[in-house]
């Protein structure tokens, strides 16, 4: 494996063993045993998803600097003509302890209190395989409509999965966003917060991985966490005790879930398309 030689050169270790591990649907992932210890290695095509791991490394470093979560250390990233890679600290997994979910909720609330002047981020990055636009905007409704909902709607329309009526309904939905979401300051978001994107460490803490960060409405992370089954009730109670969610947040969940649902509709089709249509078709005039 040519990449092994590159890693040994760049990081001054010798690779003892390379074993395949679970690491998401788009990357090849490995536990790499070296003379300096164990690391987690992600590998992908250099050209298919340009700067994928550079963007992920920037997101991880931002979370490390601005949150109290355990974030895996970025050892390095790079590419050659064929492959790009991301080398991370290896985290040994543990089991939830008595206060795991409470601490998780409190730490997310603290992270969401980290703010900037505008919604968005300093650079575009990836949600899965999709390059998400992070153009700065001081208005959440405008940002969510212009840089999240409508770009995905147009892609799904081009795939032939929705018709012009759904596109028009989505446009109407976007016009109502400032009336739907309460006005809040931009919150630092993980951006893809579901059960596959955190690890419980040996000490029982939640470590965040695979971010798609930006500054957005904090209900986006809450909604994403509930999309595929949800977290423990203790998590939501602790979050709400630390940073109270605005009245009606549960009714707004589908509107905040629309963006990740659109991504899944674009990537996988099927029932995800139906779910998206059910949300936006309420706004047919």
Active site residues: 192
CB-based burial of residue 112 (10 Å sphere; 0-12 exposed, 13-18 middle, 19+ buried)? Answer: buried
Bin 143: left if φ > 0, else alpha if -120 < ψ < 50, else beta: alpha
Residues 137/143, Cβ–Cβ less than 8 Å:
yes
Residues 248/215, Cβ–Cβ less than 8 Å:
no
Please name which of 241, 256, 218, 199 lies closest in space to residue 105, comparing C-alpha atoms: 241
- Report d(CA 116, CA 58) in Å as an integer: 17
Helix (H) or strand (E) holding 119: none
Residues 112/221, Cβ–Cβ less than 8 Å:
yes
Residues 42/86, Cβ–Cβ less than 8 Å:
yes
- Classified as helix, coil or strand, 82 is coil
- Classified as helix, coil or strand, 37 is strand
Paired tokens of 115: 């703010």
DSSP 182: P
């Amino acid at each position: 494996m040519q990449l092994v030689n590159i890693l040994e050169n760049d990081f001054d270790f010798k690779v003892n063993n390379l074993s395949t591990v679970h690491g998401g649907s788009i990357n090849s992932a490995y536990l790499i045993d070296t003379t300096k210890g164990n690391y987690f290695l992600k590998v992908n095509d250099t050209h298919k998803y340009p700067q994928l791991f550079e963007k992920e490394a920037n997101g991880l470093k931002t979370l490390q600097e601005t949150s109290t979560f355990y974030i895996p250390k970025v050892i390095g990233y790079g590419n050659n003509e064929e492959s790009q890679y991301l080398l991370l600290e290896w985290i040994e997994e543990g089991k939830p302890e008595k206060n795991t979910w409470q601490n998780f909720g409190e730490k997310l609330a603290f992270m969401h209190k980290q703010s900037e002047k505008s919604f968005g981020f300093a650079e575009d990055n990836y949600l899965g395989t999709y390059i998400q636009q992070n153009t700065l905007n001081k208005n959440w409704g405008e940002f969510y409509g212009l840089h999240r909902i409508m770009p995905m709607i147009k892609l799904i329309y081009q795939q032939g999965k929705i018709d012009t009526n759904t596109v028009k309904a989505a446009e109407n939905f976007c016009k109502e966003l400032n009336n739907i979401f309460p006005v809040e300051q931009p919150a630092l978001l993980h951006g893809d917060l579901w059960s596959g994107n955190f690890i419980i460490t040996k000490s029982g803490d939640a470590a965040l991985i695979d971010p798609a960060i930006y500054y957005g409405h904090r209900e986006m992370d809450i909604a994403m966490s509930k999309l595929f089954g949800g977290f423990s009730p203790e998590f939501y109670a602790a979050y709400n005790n630390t940073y109270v969610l605005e009245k009606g947040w549960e009714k707004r969940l589908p509107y905040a879930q629309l963006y990740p649902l659109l991504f899944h509709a674009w990537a996988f089709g099927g029932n995800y398309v139906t779910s998206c249509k059910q949300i936006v078709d309420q706004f047919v005039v």
